[in-house]
Amino acid sequence: VCTGSTPKRAGFNGEDEFFGKGVSTCATCDGFFYKDKAVTVLGGGDTALEEAYYLSNICSDVYVVHRRDEFRAAPPTLDRVMRKENIHLVTDSVLEEAYGDAMGLQGVKIKNTKTDEITDMVNTGLFVFVGHNVRNEVLKDDKGEFICDTNDWGQVIVDLSMKTSVPGLFAAGDIRIEAPKQVVLAAGDGSIAALQVISYIQEQQ
């Protein structure tokens, strides 16, 4: 099973309009477009902070917007981010709007949830990391229950051989736990799973 996942949308005004025109969900894919420029990162988990750290080595400034006053990321990740002088943590804030023109994104409006103050941040890059929707419907039975073991987020639990809890069922790519969410690594998962499938079939003969 290699059905993958899709990045969740945050739901702010202009998200769909400027997706692919300044709004992105992949720093490693699009970060180089913003070399020596300021960008905004939306999210408060490990992925958001890891991607912000990556962008800080390319961009002049990285503003991380999070709706809470504390981040959900692992302490080592947060500590590493806080040591970067060009990463600015904007807490207790939500992204109200992304705006621009025919050329693409030109800026974002950030609202402080405690003061209701609106800040206009003029930059052309916005990276959204608010989770993924795992495409796992194919693994549900008629009652809507999973046929194999998953974690709380619906990601399939596998071992290093991509084996699931069901004999003969293998899962690879973004549908599995701890997936790196990179195409080349998903392809590697698929290769491992394919070899395991061949071995499994041969063992059954």
Active site residues: 26, 29-30
> Residue 68: which of 47, 89, 40 has the closest Cα?
89
Separation between Cα atoms, residue 101 and residue 165, nearest integer Å: 50
At residue 195, φ and ψ (nearest 5 deg) are -65, -40
Helix ranges restricted to H, 43-142: 46-56, 75-82
Q: How far is CA 163 from CA 62, 83, 146, 152, 179, in A?
A: 39, 39, 15, 18, 14
Which H or E run includes 13?
none
Report the chain's C-alpha Rg in angstroms.
20
Please state, as a whole number, how many other Cβ atoms lie within 10 Å of the Cβ of residue 78: 17
Q: Which amino acid would we find at residue 118? A: I
